Amino acid sequence: MPRTPLEIGTYGKIRYSAVSGGWRARAKFRDYDGRVRDVERTGKTQGKAAQRLRAAIKEWTGSTMGELTGETRLSELAKLWLEGIEDDVARGEKSPSTLDAYRSILARHVMPGLGELRIREATVARIDRFLGTLQRNVGASSAKTARTVLSGMLGLATRYDVIEMNPTREARRISSGVTRKPRALDERERVEWLRQLEQNDKAVRWDLPDLSRFMMATGVRIGEALGVFWQDVDFDVRTVDIAHTVVRVKGQGLLRKAKPKTEKSERLLPLPSWAVQLLRERYRTAWEGGRSLDSPVFPSTDGGLRDPSNVLRVLREIRGCDEFLWVTSHTFRKTTATALDDADVPTRLIADHLGHARPSMTQDTYLGRSTVNPATAAALEGLFDNPSTGKGGDKVGN
């Protein structure tokens, strides 16, 4: 009966023989071109010789990708996958905060739950059970991120022919439950919100009144607002260039990162006159304080970048009464979107203004309209009074 051939990228039994000064370890290795080659290394002991042999086989192709097999543990697959994400971050294709989020979910949940499984053992049933448990015990948000990470990892294994299909794609979709309706600040709430901020000493120290006004004037994200420098503001044509965002990167601190969230996030926004006046007053103060154009419009106390997470923390602290407990930084974006929608600005233009790639995102998530328009009732008033006719004159149903 013929011997079963070695799988690609694997080696056979290690054989040992004594040599001058130690031991030789030798094994047959089936290379990635299909050929079987003898590989050997020596060491003072059998263990040292075997260790050097395995290291030589590991480095044989010059690529870690070739090492993936069905026996590779998910913990090792995760390391290889993260290397690819790190490369994406270095090229500016992904945000450093995305890499931090993936590392965190791997360390806290995915590796403790699935890290010791072999790739061949990562079945749809096991992944589905893991995601369901994570959703129940921790929450939908963590389960969604874990699903994204597992899909990326096992997608890598699929591309290198370790498995035929990505089991994560067949696992459960994570639902967050009832989707909350978009809510924006109405005219009365906007006035009351700013009044409350201006009467709060901590809010004033943290510059929240002006920051709230700027974010409602532009609809930018919190990181984008804090990433605006004076050189991005053009007072002559009344525009602001949104081309950066502020992120905190582990081991590096706060960074002003070029390219905000998506390609569509890079945009030149027109400013309403009241926002131009606000920025003129702030620029006058900055100029009198000796600050250059290469400095933030909304700086920290020492004139540098402000941490978006700290600003959000203070925002939560000073929301105060029950009336504004629902307010977040995204409420200001929704307020901008709704104001533009009320002014009959097309959804496509609103999406461009907010930096969305898809108008459907703007429509579903950011437009907080809930007004009753009597025009719809008027149009349906005579629905059963007279036979309807189409635009071409034909009666409906003919």
pTM: 0.61
Confirm if 232 and 344 have CB atoms less than 8 A apart: no
In this prediction, residue 179 carries a pLDDT of 57
Whole-number Å distance between alpha carbons of 220 and 226: 10
Confirm if 103 and 43 have CB atoms less than 8 A apart: no
Q: CB within 8 A of 397, min separation 6: which ones?
A: none
Whole-number Å distance between alpha carbons of 247 and 38: 51
Task: Count each helix (H run) and each strand (E run) in the chain, helices first.
Answer: 16, 8
Confirm if 306 and 314 have CB atoms less than 8 A apart: no
In this prediction, residue 113 carries a pLDDT of 93
Measured torsion, CA atoms of residues 202, 204, 209, 212, in degrees rounded to the nearest 10? -50
Name which of 353, 325, 341 is nearest 217 in CA terms: 353
Name which of 376, 360, 367 is nearest 341 in CA terms: 367
Break the chain down into helix, strand, coil percent, rounded to 5: 50, 15, 35
Residue with tokens 């294709």: 93
- Encoding tokens for residue 288? 């009198």
DSSP assignment letter at 362: I
Phi, psi at 215, each rounded to 5°: -70, -35
In 10 A of CB 311, how many CB atoms? 22
Confirm if 160 and 32 have CB atoms less than 8 A apart: no
- Encoding tokens for residue 1? 């009966």
Whole-number Å distance between alpha carbons of 191 and 202: 19
Whole-number Å distance between alpha carbons of 295 and 232: 10
Phi, psi at 186, each rounded to 5°: -80, 180
Task: Per-residue pLDDT tens, the chain, 398 aa: give them.
Answer: 567 778 877 888 999 999 988 999 999 988 777 788 888 999 999 999 999 988 888 766 444 445 678 888 999 999 999 999 988 887 777 778 888 899 999 999 999 999 999 999 999 999 999 999 999 999 988 999 999 999 999 999 998 888 889 999 998 888 766 556 668 888 899 899 999 999 999 999 999 999 999 998 888 889 999 999 999 999 998 889 988 988 887 778 888 888 655 555 568 888 889 999 999 999 999 998 888 888 999 999 888 999 999 999 999 998 876 788 888 888 888 888 888 887 777 777 777 777 766 555 555 555 554 444 444 445 444 544 554 444 444 433 33
Residue with tokens 């959703």: 135
